[in-house]
Amino acid sequence: MPTTTISVEIDVFLYCTVGQVVHTLPEGEPVRGVTSLADEVYVLREKERDQVEVYDIITYRLQRRLTVPNTRGFIGMTLCEHYRCVYIANCNDNCIYGLDVDVHIQGVGKSWWSVKDKPWGLSVNAAHNVLVTCPDARKIKEFSSHGNILRELTLPDDVIHPCQAIQTRTGEFIVSHGGGDDAVHRVCKISPDGRHVIKSHGGQLGSGIGQYYGPLHLAVDDNEFVFVSDSLNRRVTLLSPTLDYVRQVVSSDDLKWLPTKLYLDVQRRRLYVTDNECKNDEWTAGRVVVFSV
């Protein structure tokens, strides 16, 4: 009896090479976050006014600036495409600001809510809710788009100073943690209830392939490949969906200072890396470097 061979093609996007620099946005005040919506790039800087710079995503020309109230203490930014809203974390006031992209030009569309713990990392999950990572409290807090608290997850005892949390389609969390002289610096996959570490990459701080020194921020693509800003090692590392090492996509040769925040534009295959200068434990300057990945 003849047999029939069926060929099945699986469309999985793989990052096969190191990132190539395609553009660098202007140097200025330290950059606290970067994200994009449609044909614009949003850059958050630490300054008194005009903190959000909006650039054309093709030409990288500055289009306009937006001002956020309470001018000091910005630490992170994310954007929800569904609600067309930019969310900004303030670690001095322990709150989140929401800016409606479509109406803020007219000076309205601003809202804020209290986190009650110091925030650091921000992300938006598949339900369009805002996830706030609180390093000192070791918690992930989930808020609705209107700022209503939906749940709080206390992370396992060995997850010290979590910096960023991103929720996968299956409900698990990818979390980076470890800062300063913490014994452990790594990236973890954590159960949906926040109680158990399922898998991790990293461990004792260092500069080896399987080590980190300040994994500050994450970006996850549609296939759950994970980009990690390994700040004090001055590199960006790519991990597989099972948190296995794939390769280094950004090296210290591509950067002037320290990589802190990341944003991945999956459609355009662009990785935005905030490159910030630190002197005497103070952030003094910053820029955004755009890579093709």
Q: For each of the chain's 293 residues, which pLDDT tens digit applies?
A: 443 333 333 344 455 457 899 999 999 999 999 999 989 999 999 998 889 999 999 999 999 998 887 667 899 999 999 999 999 999 999 999 998 887 654 444 568 899 999 999 999 999 999 999 999 999 999 999 999 999 999 999 999 999 999 999 999 999 999 988 899 999 999 999 999 999 999 999 999 999 999 999 999 999 999 999 999 999 999 999 999 999 999 999 999 999 999 999 999 999 999 999 999 989 999 999 999 99
Q: What is the pLDDT of residues 29-80, one digit of tens each?
A: 999 999 999 899 999 999 988 899 999 999 999 999 988 876 678 999 999 9
Is this prediction's pTM over 0.85?
Answer: yes
The string of DSSP codes covering 56-79 is: ETTT--EEEEE--SS-S-EEEEEE
Tell me the domains of the chain and their CATH numbers.
29-292 (2.120.10.30)
- What is the pLDDT at residue 141? 98
H helices of the chain, where?
none
The string of DSSP codes covering 112-166 is: EEE-SS---EEEE-TTSPEEEEETTTTEEEEE-TT--EEEEEEPPTT--SEEEEE
